[in-house]
Amino acid sequence: MISIGGSIGTGLFLGSGASIHTAGPGGALLAYGIIGVMVYLLMTSLGEMSTYMPVTGSFSTYATKFVDPAFGFAIGWIYWFSWATTLAVETSAAAILMKFWMPGVPSFVWSALFLIFIFMINFLSVKQYGEAEYWFSMIKVVAILAFIILGFLMIFGIMTGSGQASMGIKNFTAGDAPFHGGFLALLSIFMVAGFSFQGTEVVGIVAGESKEPEKNVPKAIKQIFWRILLFYMLSILVIGLIVPFTDSGLMNSDIEKVAMSPFTLVFERAGIAFAASVMNAVILTSVFSAGNSGLYAATRMLYVMAKERQAPAFMSKLNKHGVPISALAFTTAFGLLAFFSSMFGEGKVFMWLLNIAGLTGFIAWAGIALSHYRFRKAYLYQGFDLNNLVYKAKWFPLGPILATALCIFIILGQNYQAFLGDNIDWQGITVTYIGIPIFLLLWFGYKLAKKTKWIPLKDIELK
């Protein structure tokens, strides 16, 4: 439920409409399906490592142990930055959503209350965090299931609403649907789909604090993949069948235009008048959930890096509930600073932070795949028996190789439009890809300072 909460959010509730409008319903389904397969490969890679070596803040530890300490340092800090900045994004989103009901209250009031709320949830204990995340996720799951059931009732004419006949498949095949815009449109949807799935990897971070990780993590990974894929694929299918991809309402992926969420459009066509308020409440829950997961993940990553001497030592301090309080306070403070940056210079600083955060999720995913490839190679090289692994990732070595290649492809193709036309958009390129040089600077800067080396397979510590 924690991973479902982290990955199902505004990307599905708002971004899916723009995806269908850009590439048609078939193009959106294909893009989300391909990214879903990549996420499955990544999750199985993470599952094999986290059941063999369940540790809190797993990504940087695995990259440090199986690849290179400098690589682990860069992965850890870049992943922390991604979630800490996302916390600021969710803080801004919560304020905008609350204005739907109370437009007269200043945004900073809601943002401050939002930050205090999720800080307290994380401050109390990991049990309280897990309970809160479970119920946040449950609300989203129930809303999506209700949407899918209602959608199919409309498609088959069982429930028409507003005097309409059954939808059938006419919207899915109208014009140049189901595929629209060709390969470049599909490529642009890869970016959106990838961002939408980010958060599934949080299951690897919670492994170190979960009960019986050897038993429960593999079970969670299997369920997470199929549930998330079905939620995304069925939701997109329902939207594509009911709402024509040419409908202007699908273009609005801005959170301020929640009334134009594709989910809201479907509810309205079913004759449910209060759809906007219901979806606004569900999306607000999604924002709380994503912010809650983000603060947890970033805090644990900072804690484990402090334990491994890759972050200031005071970040490893625990309170009486076993929560890394210094790392929690620092991450919350950074999220607050990032939020305030959106108020100055027309939000340019904030947009730079947001673009860096967007890329870093894919860099972390590539790091997971590379770490698993090195882990399995070392495991076999040192004579260990694969049958002794609690959970074995499928399709090795194709799985991690394919996942790494897709991540790199998505990273490089994120803003392909900037390279097209007579004049190259250098400013757009800089803003979009600034995360890559920052990651390389962290990696090679640490490597030069600490004189670290790529770890030979025979020297990788597996016990």
Q: Which of 136-150, 153-167, 206-220, 364-378 is predicted with the least confidence, judged by mean pLDDT?
A: 153-167
pLDDT at 166: 54
Residue of higher predicted confidence among 44 and 377: 377
Nearest by Cα to 382 from 325, 324, 461, 276: 461
Q: Domain coordinates of the chain in residue numbers?
A: 2-459
pLDDT at 423: 81
pLDDT at 77: 92
pLDDT at 161: 55
pLDDT digits (tens, 9 = 90+) for 399-458: 999 999 998 988 888 777 778 777 888 877 887 788 899 899 999 999 999 999 999 999
pLDDT digits (tens, 9 = 90+) for 121-144: 888 878 888 888 888 888 888 888
pLDDT at 460: 92
pLDDT at 462: 87
pLDDT at 384: 92
pLDDT at 86: 79
Per the rule left: phi > 0, alpha: psi between -120 and 50, beta: everything else, 451 is left
pLDDT digits (tens, 9 = 90+) for 348-360: 665 666 667 777 8
CATH architecture designation of domain 2-459: Up-down Bundle (1.20)
Q: How far is CA 97 from CA 64, 92, 281, 416, 441, in A?
A: 40, 9, 8, 32, 37
pLDDT digits (tens, 9 = 90+) for 50-78: 888 887 667 788 999 999 999 999 999 99
DSSP string, 7-70: HSSHHHHTHHHHHHHHHHHHHHHHHHHHHHHHHHHHHHHHHHHHHHS--TTHHHHHHHHHT-HH
Mean pLDDT rounded to a whole number for the chain: 81
Q: Which two tokens stand for residue 413?
A: 């193709």
Residue of higher predicted confidence among 39 and 349: 39
Q: With 50 as the cut, is the pLDDT of residue 320 above it?
A: yes
Task: Decide: helix, strand or coil at residue 243.
Answer: coil
Q: Which two tokens stand for residue 146?
A: 């209700």
Mean pLDDT of 5-12: 69
pLDDT at 259: 47
Q: Which of 26-30, 80-84, 93-97, 299-303 is predicted with the least confidence, judged by mean pLDDT?
A: 93-97
